[in-house]
Structure 1
Amino acid sequence: METRQDAVTGTIGCAAALLGALAGIAAWFPYGRRGLFGAFEGETNPAVLWLGLPVLVLGGATAALAVLTVVRGRWRPALGLLAALGGIAAFGYAFDVLAAPQALQDCGSPC
């Protein structure tokens, strides 16, 4: 039987995950806008939508839940969440999820 304290803790956890996901969207938005709407001659990078957005949303939610578990003093789940966050970050770096369109990256002397 669930107590009222467990229900409050679960609600706080859901709210933390939601806020972390929203922070991930806020971090993704500048890169996503540039990547989706193109730069020079309308070049786009659709990977920012189907790779970048999920990675940052999952990363934000995982980071918020890791902080919540550390605050609650539950070290084993926090270490598991930090390991998951490291895996998400490694995936993000491997696939360069915050990559801008190529025209923005290689703009040399004519710009």
Structure 2
Amino acid sequence: MEVFAEFIARVEHPQHRERLETVLNWVADHYPQLEPKIAWNQPMFTDHGTFIIGFSVAKHHIAVGPERAAMIHFADQIVQAGYSHSDQLIRLKWDQSVDYELLARIIDYNMEDKADCTTFWRK
């Protein structure tokens, strides 16, 4: 995924870089209809011009940002998966396994919930 190459290359730790690339490639492979892009200096995926999910990198984790509505909708499942979180993002620690089934449910939810959305963010 050429669009993310520069961002991924800036991740200093080789294992972190590989992990981020794996997650981003998983999204791209499973959701080829989503447009990968860099916005606000972060990799994200959009659908018909509306935000679906974004990622950022921190010292101890990958942050997954699906918007607050999805965070509320999946709050219990996020906790059950063992992830730390805030109101706006899920923290995937570098040494934690990725619950790709949960990630898929979150992406599916956002795509369905925002199917008629005409703005980038929910209002």
Shared topology, TM-score over 0.5?
no
Higher strand share: 2
Which structure: larger Rg? 1
What's the TM-score once normalised by structure 2's chain length? 0.29
Higher helix share: 1
Highest RCO, 1 vs 2 (Cα 8 Å, sep ≥ 6)? 1
